[in-house]
Amino acid sequence: MSTATQARTSHTEIPRTTATAGSTGQVILKRAAGSLFVLWAAVTLTFFVLRLVPGDPVTTILGGHSAAPSAATVAAVEAQYGLDQPVLVQYVNYLAGLATGDFGTSYVFKVPVLDILGPQILPTFQMAGLALVFAWAIALAFTLLTVGRGRVLDGVGRGIEVFFAALPPFWVGIMLAVVFAVILGWFPVAGDDGFKSLVLPALALGIPLAGFIAQVTRSSFEEALAQPFVLSARARGLSDLAVRVGHALRHAILPGLTLSAWAVGSLVSSAVVAEIIFARPGLGRSLVDAIINRDLPITLAVVFIIAAVYILVNLVVDVLYRVIDPRTNDKGAGA
């Protein structure tokens, strides 16, 4: 290749790279703007739906129907919590509070909502995060060990994946507690005391999720094994493990990453099952208690946190998708 040809090639490649980076940034900004809109919509819908629920918040604040407050007391409480204002004004004030990190005051506990939920956030996210790790570990193990290993192993793998996906988390949690906590005594039955207390609750949530991830990853892995780049890697003399892990797996996990984004939100919102079975603190139990007690500020705050986590994880996965498979940048730029 001549010097002039090389110069022309370099001049054509640099703008293309810059354009790709720019288009990726634009796509991410669009996704971020869309994420903020979805978060606003979730908060708005929850706010107005909760206002339609029968019952008077003032009654909750004053301790229930047995309190029998005077009209003056009711008026004072309404003024203190802003409940004497029109609903639209309450909504605007709530959004203004969210913008400054103020989730309001609990109707039941009479303290700032974050003082109540703050200690509950970390236990829930620890359990959900470990559940996702367990789910991926189980799914990848089944995928790598059974796909393309013959009809028998493939059928066994598929059957176990379907079985796992059909298991209800509460049943898995009870079985794990009975076998590994009560009978074998390997793990604590309940509580929040170190890593060992996290294992069984995380498995209760992670095992059913592993079935879904494994089914999605299996299909992608089978397609990847038939691609020319895998056949080329085998022709170069790479071992079966190197081909599977180093080449096919990278392309097979992309649909699983998308599913993981949904799974994180699902794990956080369904954490109440494991939190109740294993008597753990967390957002799930706080949400159930708040709904039962009609504590609207706590209910709104938990919904906001779960929605924010779900949206943030989706945004991160979208970025990772583009890093792992740059071909999606061109698709996103054209969207």
Residue 167: φ, ψ to 5°: -75, 130
* CB 15 within 8 Å of CB 320: no
Q: pLDDT tens across 212-242, in order? A: 888 888 877 777 766 777 677 777 767 666 6
CATH number of this structure's domain 113-324: 1.10.3720.10
Domain positions in the chain are 26-100, 113-324
- Average pLDDT of the chain, as a whole number: 78
Average pLDDT over residues 262-276: 81
Contacts of 314 (CB under 8 A, 6+ apart): 35, 261, 262
pLDDT band, residue 14 (cuts 50/70/90): very low
Q: Does the pLDDT value for residue 208 go beyond 50?
A: yes
More confident of the two residues 47 and 5:
47
Global pTM?
Answer: 0.73
More confident of the two residues 127 and 329:
127
Going by C-alpha positions, the residue among 306, 264, 262 that lies closest to residue 286 is 306
